[in-house]
A and B are shown apart, each in its own frame.
Chain A
Amino acid sequence: MSSHGISPAELRAVNLPRRKAVNRLMEGLATVAALIAVTILGIVIWSVAKRGAGALDLNLVTRAPVPFAFGPVKQGLANAFAGSLVLVGLATLMALPIGILVAVYLTEFAPPSIRNVVSLALDVLNGVPAIVIGIFVFGLIVIAHGQSGYAGAFALACLMLPLVARSTMEVLLLVPSSLREASLALGVPRWRTTLSIVLPQTVGGIVTGTVLAVARIAGETAPLLFVSSLAGTKTSWDPGHALQSIPVAIFELSESPDPQDHARAWAAALVLLLFILFASLGGRWLATRSRRRLSTSR
């Protein structure tokens, strides 16, 4: 009939109802899986919010805990908030410059063989369980010098370094090589090209990676248990001594027999959760923005 010799029967689908049913089933399963992932997050947020919202007030941040309190005493976790700020701040100060330099070396200067090896090392370091980092820093610093905020910050920095380095590498690789060539062809040295042409393109991406890394380490409990947990209840900003931190405080309060302590632990958890949530969202927003800027500039 047709000039190509194809009969209508050949075009008819074989077993169409069954194929449609299988398709619908698989699509449904995949959708349910996606829903489960979202639901888990929703349940976590909802349950923390429900239990923590009651104890969430300004006292939580401004007042230190009162040990052996009897009766209704206004108290908070100011020591943990201050400690977390110092620990995370110091960790960022340690990890950020090293992470950026590692990334610059790997993308701009290292031969491919070294780049692959070091990238793999960073990925492995990223995969090392936090508790192992804690034991490592315990053996390295705490056994000789005792617990301190510095030791805690160092442990957190170890966790942060691969995150910062990897995310910085990603944005450096997005900078088109034509820009580097444009600068080099003018007779501009490589270090100057990297500093003035390449790095300014990646500031947004580096900030994003850092924000996400901060969000991640702010919630780390395990490494701090060994290296910065035997802190008093006084609010202290001195990293020379062990500092309390939010995750460790939550852990300790959860073991307390006092229901008031439980409520404060939930409230602190809620604050931590909100911080991580907003930091991640903010980081993502920055990332899309900087990526868009890079793609329009080719």
Chain B
Amino acid sequence: MTKENLDVSTTIEPNVRVETRRQPMPPRERLERIFNIEDLDASYGSKPALKGVTMEIYKNFVTAIIGPSGCGKSTYIRCLNRMNDLIPGFTQTGTIRYHGQDICSGDVDPVAVRRHIGMVFQRPNPFPKSIYDNVAWGLKVLGLRDGMDERVESALTQAALWDEVKDRLKASALSLSGGQQQRLCIARAIAVEPDVVLMDEPASALDPIATQAIEQLMNELKSEYTFVIVTHNMQQAARVADMTAFFSISRGDEGQRWGELIEYDATQKIFTAPSDNRTEDYVTGRFG
């Protein structure tokens, strides 16, 4: 066993995660809501992608979005910080209220929205800059200049990367491994002190050890941030999420396909006693 493996196996204790997940959940009415999504429809050109999504996302929770390919998971999560604005032909209707404010209305600045709602992508996408500058650049541009070194160190520590890179902060971020790059992207996202961090399949390009590291840091950081994570991996949702939403594909009369929210509940309920047959088929592996 190599040293690296030893390190990881000693730092990650699965029992800790199970404990946090098994905490009794307070009744939903008492939870603080970050997002109220109502009747969200989204389409690319004339192709519908999502129809009628209504759900609430709670503060300091990890919310997982699961479902088969093409069910609109990524489209949905990218609606939450207006990343879809960049795609030509994309349209959406319905409301997404963030702390009570509709972020889809015309007078809202998408740049300001993204300032508070960060995102980590499927494939690690560090800037072709040094490790330090990857974290510091966003801070500089957004005017968080005081105590730069401390901010960078704290972000890298929170992303569980500091010990591995503290001696080579000036090295290119592209020299890191895939898992390290993804943790760097997480550090970059949390360095600018967002309120919510959206994660679009953050571990799908990573090996199991790097995946575990990322799941663990989500668990540790959720007291400070709210996470929404899209994942293909049901075990991952079961491990990290407090709430889980299951999306599936619906088909129209003329062969159109779109994504719909089927069921949204506490993770444990979704995986042990789902109320919809489609959810049960999916989580038991009979479909998708």
How far, in Å, is A93 (CB) from chain B's closest CB? Answer: 29
Give the docked Cα–Cα distance between A297 and B121 (Å): 16
Known contacts A179-B125, A182-B127, A196-B137; A187/B116 CB under 8 A: yes
Segment 260-298 of A: residues with Cβ below 8 Å from B: 293, 296-298
Contacts of B127 in A (CB 8 A): 179, 182-183, 197
Within B167-224, the residues touching A (CB, 8 Å) are: 174, 185, 188-189, 192
A187 touches B88 (CB 8 A): no
In the bound complex, do residue B123 and residue A178 qualify as a contact, i.e. CB atoms below 8 Å apart? yes
**A187 and B189 contacting across the interface, CB-CB below 8 Å:** no
Cβ < 8 Å to B, chain A residues 166-200: 176, 178-190, 192, 196-197
Which residue of A is nearest B138, CB measured? A186
- In the complex, the answer to whether A196 meets B141 with C-beta atoms within 8 Å is yes
Residue of A nearest to B112 (CB): A187
Query: What is the CA–CA distance of A185 and B114 in the complex, to the nearest angstrom?
Result: 6
**B86 in contact with A192 (CB, 8 Å):** no
Most chain B CB neighbours (cut-off 10 Å) among A179, A188, A196: A188
Interface of chain A, main secondary structure: helix
Q: Are B188 and A186 in contact (CB under 8 A)?
A: yes
Q: How far is the CB of B61 from chain A (nearest CB, A)?
A: 21
Q: Is B174's CB under 8 angstroms from A297's CB? A: yes
Please pick, from A112, A184, A296, A298, the residue contacting B83 in the complex, using a CB distance under 8 A: A184
Say whether B121 contacts A182, CB under 8 Å: yes
Assess A181 versus B138: contact at CB under 8 Å? Given A186-B118, A188-B111: no
Chain B CB within 10 Å, residue with most, of A187, A188, A201: A187
- Interface flags for A55-92 (1: CB within 8 Å of B; 0: not) read 00000000000000000000000000000000000000
B: number of interface residues (CB 8 Å) = 27
The size of the chain A interface, using a CB distance under 8 A, is 24
Q: Which residue of the partner chain, among A182, A185, A188, contacts B142 with CB atoms under 8 Å?
A: A188
One digit per residue, 1 when the CB lies within 8 angstroms of any chain A CB and 0 when it does not, for chain B 76-89 equals 00000101001010
> Looking at the complex, which one of B125, B188, B192 makes contact with A181 (CB distance below 8 Å)?
B125
The reply to whether A185 and B118 contact each other, CB–CB distance below 8 Å, is: yes
Contacts of A187 in B (CB 8 A): 111-116, 118, 138, 142, 192
Please tell me if A111 contacts chain B, counting CB pairs below 8 Å: yes
In the bound complex, CA of A196 to CA of B112 (Å): 19
Q: Across the interface, which residues of A come within 8 angstroms of B64, CB to CB?
A: none
**Which residues on A sit within 8 Å (CB–CB) of B188?**
182, 186
State the Cβ distance, B176 to closest chain A Cβ, in Å.
Answer: 12
Contact partner, B141, options A181, A182, A188, A201, Cβ 8 Å: A188
B14 interfacial contact with A, CB 8 Å = no
B contact set with A: CB distance below 8 Å: 81, 83, 86, 88, 111-116, 118-119, 121, 123, 125-128, 137-138, 141-142, 174, 185, 188-189, 192
Q: In the complex, given contacts A186-B192, A196-B137, A297-B128, what are 10 additional A-B residue pairs having Cβ atoms less than 8 angstroms apart?
A: A178-B125, A185-B118, A186-B141, A187-B116, A187-B142, A190-B111, A197-B127, A293-B128, A297-B174, A298-B125
Cβ contacts A to B, 22 pairs, < 8 Å: A111-B88, A112-B88, A181-B119, A181-B125, A182-B121, A182-B126, A183-B127, A183-B138, A184-B114, A185-B83, A185-B118, A185-B119, A185-B121, A185-B189, A186-B142, A187-B112, A187-B114, A187-B142, A189-B111, A197-B127, A297-B174, A298-B123
Q: Give me the 10 closest cross-chain CB pairs, A-B, nearest first.
A: A187-B115, A185-B119, A178-B125, A297-B128, A186-B138, A187-B114, A182-B125, A189-B111, A188-B141, A112-B88
